[in-house]
Amino acid sequence: MRDTVDPEFASYVDARQGRWLRTAYLVYGELERAEEQLLHAFTRLSLRWGKVDDPDVFVQRLLYQPALSRWARVRPFEGEDEPVKLALASLTPAQRTVLVLLYFEELTEYEVSDVLSMSQPSVHGHVQTAVGRLGAALGSGDWRDAYRRDQQ
């Protein structure tokens, strides 16, 4: 491992750090925690830079799986008064993570299940519930109606 930053690593991180910081912020509901988790993931990637088959999946697993850990949870969006953030805070960590990865990170359900080591039906169930609860929290009607419209 070279003492100075590998240029390829630098360009890789530069290209993704902004987007992943926002994703992590929505998942964890706390900027400091999101930045800490992202730095941890990039640091681990630097140790295996050039040896990892899919760096994106490697980083995403390190970045998002801790959000599901029962022992590392924080109160999301504490002190915020924005309705969207309050609505996100009303979701469970699994619902919020699945929702963000599907609609913000724009992964497929299959990719989400791979990143979170979760079954695909579980991902599907979490996102249905998350969309409904988010809509209800924001006053957009019953989530089942919205989901049915989506399916049509």
* Span from 7-15, 50-58, 65-73, 109-117 in contact with another protein (CB under 8 A): 7-15
By CB under 8 A, residue 104 contacts another protein: yes
Among 61, 73, 85, 124, contact with another protein (rule: CB under 8 A): 85
- In whole angstroms, what is the distance from residue 97 CA to residue 7 CA? 31
By CB under 8 A, residue 47 contacts another protein: yes
* Span from 9-17, 50-58, 67-75, 114-122 in contact with another protein (CB under 8 A): 9-17
Please report, for the chain, how many H helices and E strands are present, in that order.
8, 0
* Span from 66-74, 107-115, 118-126, 129-137 in contact with another protein (CB under 8 A): 129-137
Please give the size of the binding site for another protein, defined by CB under 8 A: 46
Among 30, 44, 111, 114, contact with another protein (rule: CB under 8 A): 44
- In whole angstroms, what is the distance from residue 50 CA to residue 1 CA? 10
CB atoms within 10 A of CB 10: 11
CB atoms within 10 A of CB 140: 14
| 51-59 contact pairs (CB < 8 A, 24+) | 55/12, 56/16, 57/114, 57/115, 59/16, 59/20
Give, to the nearest 10 degrees, the angle between helix 109-116 and helix 93-103.
130
Q: Which is nearer to another protein, 70 or 149 (CB)?
A: 149
By CB under 8 A, residue 150 contacts another protein: yes
CB atoms within 10 A of CB 38: 22
Binding site for another protein (CB under 8 A): 1, 3-6, 9-10, 13-14, 17-18, 21-23, 25-26, 31, 35, 38-39, 42-47, 49, 82, 84-85, 88, 99-100, 103-104, 131-132, 134-135, 138, 140-141, 143, 146, 149-150
